[in-house]
Each structure stands twice: as C-alpha cells, then as structure tokens.
C-alpha cells in the first residue's frame, strides 16, 4: 500500500476511505524546504493551491524515486510543474469535475453583489451609514454576460446566467462548442466590446501573462462589471484598479489574486471591489466530490 502526504487538508470521509483501503495517510503542511526532504519518503502527495510543487521540490523527491503520484485537489494545475513531473515518471492528476457548480455559484453570487451594491452596503451599514440613495443598482436579467473560456465551470455559469435571463456570449481557444446553441460564440474583441458583465474561466499562463490588461479594458463598454473566480494573474491588478478609478469598470469581483494572501491594499480596500479569499471550491458539497475523485484516482493508480 502507498504512503500518502496530504499537505493542505482534505475531506474527512475521503481520508477515512483511503485509510480503510490500507494506505498510510499523513496530513501535514510543510514549508518548501521541509517539503523537499519529507517528500522523499512518500509514494503520493495530495495538494490544494497553498502547496507549490516546483522543479526543485520534484528534484528532491527524485533522489529516492519513491514519489509516483501528485494529486491536485481542485482544477487548476498552475502550482505544479506538470510537464517536468511527467517527464520524470511522476503522474499528475487533478479533480476537474468536482467544483464546477460551486465556482459557478460564487461567480453568479458576486455578480449580484456588485450589481446591487451588496458588497459595500454590508460594510457601510455596519459603520452606521444609511446610503440608500447612493445604491441604485442594475438587474442581471436582460444584460449580456461574456465568458472568457468555456470549460466545465464556464458552462455551469452560462446555464445559471441564462436561467436568470442573461444573454450569454463566450470565447474559447478551440472555437464554438456543439450543443450550446443557446449561447453565442464570438471573438475575444467582440466579447470585450459587447458584454455588460465579463467573467473569466481560464488557467493562468505565466509566459503569456495577464489576459486582461490596459489594452483590453479600453475595449470594454464604459461601466462594465468584471468577475474573476478563475486564477490570479489572468487580470492585471494595477490595470484593473486604474479602470475602476476611471469608471471604465463599474465594479469588480475578485476571488483570486496575483499573490495569495494578497498584499495589494489598493485592491482589497477599493469600494468598487467585492472580495473573497479564493473560496470558489469551498463548499461542503464540492469538497466531498473532490474527496471522492481523489479516492478513485488513488484506487486506480495503486491497484
């Protein structure tokens, strides 16, 4: 049976199942230098977003060649040097199906928050302020939502937005998708120009950098609303702050940041920004589904 390290926590039921299957489970978070040493004695490691498995970590594990499997308990793999691990005989898996509904619900929730001033009125009322006249919002129904990326989470978001009466546009590197005729595939430029709300659903590519920066903000409608529950870095934070200050962006919702925990005080104190601390997949239901996927991955890999 396998010796498995869980660095960022996991669903208790799933952990119990792995132990029942005979695997040794160690649930402990390590700093990078400690992780280099500890990983040498494990067959598999399960991480979330907090633990980074970079080349130097993998190199250390390769000294004993015991590590055979890395599991990302979530969707994004940008905290793992996947090609390098795979080239060196270490399998990398994620759990792509588990959190789609949860992240989509958070994105929609943020749209309600910024369109109806829920985010800021919740703060000002606690300060004893009654700013009723200042908080004239807009309805989601009848507005155009542009989705950048059209994977599992974006499709869930589209379904929920469509049910609310929104017109949905999407752009995707692989082109239009069959079976989604209720939504409209457009180019990136057209999406930026036509959308009242824009929501990102793409991974972060370090080499490519931000997908939305000054040039892209200039193409958007005046008073557009922006939601990022995808990955930190896909939106240039400084360019976003400038767009918020100028009024180009009416309000933004941000769940993911260039640096986490974020130290960007201009962003996290901005009255036009609705904030959450990277909680897209943080529901009981999503974590249970992630746990189920992890159990299946481990079961199949070490069969």
23 is catalytic: no
Q: Which residues of the chain are in CATH 3.40.50.720 domains?
A: 3-95+283-301, 100-275
pLDDT at res. 141: 98
> Per the structure block, which two tokens stand in for 193?
């120009």
Closest CA to 290 of 69, 106, 101, 26: 101
260 is catalytic: yes
Domain at 3-95+283-301: CATH architecture: 3-Layer(aba) Sandwich (3.40)
> E strand or H helix at 167, and its extent?
strand 167-171
Give CA–CA dist 38/57, Å, rounded. 10
> Per the structure block, which two tokens stand in for 174?
């692989």
Please pick, among 119, 278, 289, 293, the residue that the annotation labels catalytic: 278
> Per the structure block, which two tokens stand in for 237?
């934070």
pLDDT at res. 125: 98
231 is catalytic: yes
Please pick, among 218, 260, 271, 285, the residue that the annotation labels catalytic: 260
Yes or no: say if 88 and 57 are a contact pair by the CB < 8 Å rule.
no
pLDDT at res. 87: 97
Give CA–CA dist 103/277, Å, rounded. 13
Positive or negative torsion for Cα 21, 26, 29, 31: negative
pLDDT at res. 49: 87
pLDDT at res. 187: 98
Please pick, among 231, 270, 289, 293, the residue that the annotation labels catalytic: 231
pTM of the predicted model as reported, rounded to 2 decimal places: 0.89
> Per the structure block, which two tokens stand in for 145?
């939502």
Strand partners, 53: 80
pLDDT at res. 217: 98
Give CA–CA dist 299/292, Å, rounded. 11
Yes or no: say if 107 and 227 are a contact pair by the CB < 8 Å rule.
yes
**What secondary structure letter does DSSP report for 170?**
E
For domain 100-275, say whether CATH 3.40.50.720 is its number.
yes
pLDDT at res. 121: 98
Angle at the Cα of 152 from the Cα atoms of 151 and 154, rounded to 5 degrees: 65
Residue that has been written with the tokens 């807009």 in this structure: 138
For residue 154, with 0-12 CB atoms within 10 Å meaning exposed, 13-18 middle and 19 or more buried, which class applies? buried
Low-confidence ranges of the chain (pLDDT < 70): none
Angle at the Cα of 286 from the Cα atoms of 176 and 166, rounded to 5 degrees: 40
Classified as helix, coil or strand, 6 is: strand
């Amino acid at each position: 049976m396998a010796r498995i390290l869980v660095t960022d926590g996991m669903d208790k039921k799933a952990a119990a199942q792995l132990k029942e299957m005979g695997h040794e489970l160690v649930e402990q978070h390590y700093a990078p230098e400690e992780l280099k040493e500890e990983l040498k004695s494990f067959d598999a490691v399960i991480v979330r977003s907090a633990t980074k498995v970079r080349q130097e970590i993998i190199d250390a594990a390769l000294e004993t060649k015991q590590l055979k499997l890395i599991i990302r308990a979530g969707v994004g793999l940008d905290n793992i040097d996947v090609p390098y691990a795979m080239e060196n005989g270490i399998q990398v898996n994620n759990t792509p199906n588990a959190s789609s509904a949860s992240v989509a619900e958070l994105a929609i929730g943020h749209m309600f928050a910024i369109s109806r001033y829920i985010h800021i009125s919740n703060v000002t009322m606690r300060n004893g302020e009654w700013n009723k006249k200042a908080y004239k919002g807009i309805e989601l129904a009848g507005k155009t939502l542009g989705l950048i990326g059209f994977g599992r989470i974006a499709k869930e978001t589209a379904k929920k937005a469509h049910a609310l009466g929104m017109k949905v546009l999407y752009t995707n590197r692989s082109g239009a998708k069959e079976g989604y005729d209720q939504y409209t595939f457009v180019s990136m430029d057209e999406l930026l120009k036509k959308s009242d709300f824009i929501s990102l659903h793409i991974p972060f590519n370090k080499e490519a950098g931000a997908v939305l920066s000054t040039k892209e903000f200039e193409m958007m409608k005046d008073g557009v609303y922006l939601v990022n529950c995808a990955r930190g870095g896909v939106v240039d934070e400084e360019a976003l702050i400038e767009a918020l200050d100028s009024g180009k962006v009416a309000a933004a919702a941000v769940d993911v940041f260039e640096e986490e925990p974020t130290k960007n005080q201009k962003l996290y104190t901005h009255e036009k920004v609705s904030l959450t601390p990277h909680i897209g997949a943080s529901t009981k239901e999503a974590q249970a589904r992630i746990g189920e996927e992890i159990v299946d991955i481990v079961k199949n890999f070490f069969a």
